[in-house]
Amino acid sequence: MIRLPSRIRLPHTLRLSGEGDRSLYFGRFWIYGALLLVLTGAVLDSYPTVLVGLLVLCTAAGSSLWNRYALNDVGFETRLSTHRAFPGDRVELEVTLVNDKPLPLPEITANLTMSEALEPDGWESTVEGASINRTLDLRASLRPFERRTWTIALDCRRRGPWSVGSATLRSSDPFGFFSSRRVVGKKEELIVYPHSWPIQEPPARNERLMGTLTARRRLVTDPMRRAGVRDYHPEDPFRTINWKATARTGSLKVNVNDPVVSTMVMIVLNLDTFTHYWEGLAIEQSERAIEIAASIARWGIEQQMSVGLSTNGLIAGFDTPLRIPFGRGPQHEAQIMNGLARLWAFSTVPVAQVLRQERVRCGRETTFVIVSPMTSSAIASELRLYSLAGIDPIFVPVGEATLHPPADLPLWPLDGPAPMTESAA
């Protein structure tokens, strides 16, 4: 009687190679059975039995060895045509898969993960339940040293900080006895800015040149901002004479220009939609308020104003409400749009607290524009303190706030296009 050892150590090629490798058919039962057949055939001098056992062992060893090196030297890369977009834009995604070795791959699958808000056009993808991620399956067969590239159009459905990648590569041996997988690639971020549109002038503008006093004579004027003409006065400079108007009227006329505006605009964005937190959250109204705040910020930057933003909501990765100090220019506009794109569509602190802090920080020389989808007694009380401090904020009602706006405040109703989509994140 031949005594079998209590523990047989499998050859290295038969053992599973790597964390993501597994055998679909060859378990320990098959290996032990094949070894038993070889030993039994050798004892009984039965060559067919030995041949069957060796065939099973060779098939298992060859398939395992093929599967072990299947995903070695396989390159995977994703590239976006742009990393900034707006809702409704289409961004091209280029996915490249490279087999940089002499071993062919009869079949390889790349399960690419991306944010659910990015929808591939013309490609089937899956979103499981309430998951925030979408999976796109790409299948190919690669010869030695072959490269395969896919170009996928992604539709940006709504604002938010979205991402593409990573991917899970899956392959097997030619017989399908073994399977291996590997997570490759890195995440590429795609920021979708909130939707915005051109807006009209506000009902009032804070045009204080220096401090809070009104000068009898405007010291500095902007020649590009023509207000009209008037009669000539002896103290008027000779270069301000409008010769066309003088020839037409028969008397000396001079140009009247608007003053140089050095307005500081602080946009206070309220993401509360109900008085109490337990009443719920109207995502559509919060999204609409974010879009209106983005439109006001773009208008202020285009008017060469110094614009700031303060909200009672958080952005991903930070535990304090979003606040962007005053600034101007295209780079500052991009900073504001980037902050609004990353903003969660719900509040974390009462907006009355934000209003109180900004009133102390900014002072009377700032024009406050308050964007809010609701009104409450706490907001009304804080706005009364603004009036007592000599500050006249502009209120922009959104949603339900248009039905009951605060009294004795200049209103700035902004009716733009319909909201693009639902919540960001």
Note the pLDDT tens digit of each residue in 192-208.
999 999 988 776 544 44
| Mean pLDDT confidence for 240-251 | 89
| Mean pLDDT confidence for 215-236 | 69
| Mean pLDDT confidence for 231-244 | 86
The per-residue pLDDT for 177 is 80
pLDDT at position 210 over 70? no
| Mean pLDDT confidence for 267-295 | 87
Residue 45 confidence class, pLDDT cut points 50, 70, 90: confident
| Mean pLDDT confidence for 314-332 | 89
Model confidence over 342-352: pLDDT tens digits? Answer: 998 888 888 99
Lowest mean pLDDT among 217-221, 226-230, 359-363: 217-221
The per-residue pLDDT for 88 is 93
> What is the spatial distance between Cα 145 and Cα 121, in angstroms, rounded to a whole number?
30
Residue 21 confidence class, pLDDT cut points 50, 70, 90: low
| Mean pLDDT confidence for 164-185 | 88
Share of the chain above pLDDT 70, in %: 83
Structure-model confidence comparison of residues 257 and 233, the more confident one: 233
| Mean pLDDT confidence for 118-143 | 90
Residue 400 confidence class, pLDDT cut points 50, 70, 90: confident
The tokens for 46 are 């039965």
**φ/ψ (deg, to 5) at 81:** -70, -25
Residue 419 confidence class, pLDDT cut points 50, 70, 90: low
pLDDT at position 214 over 80? no
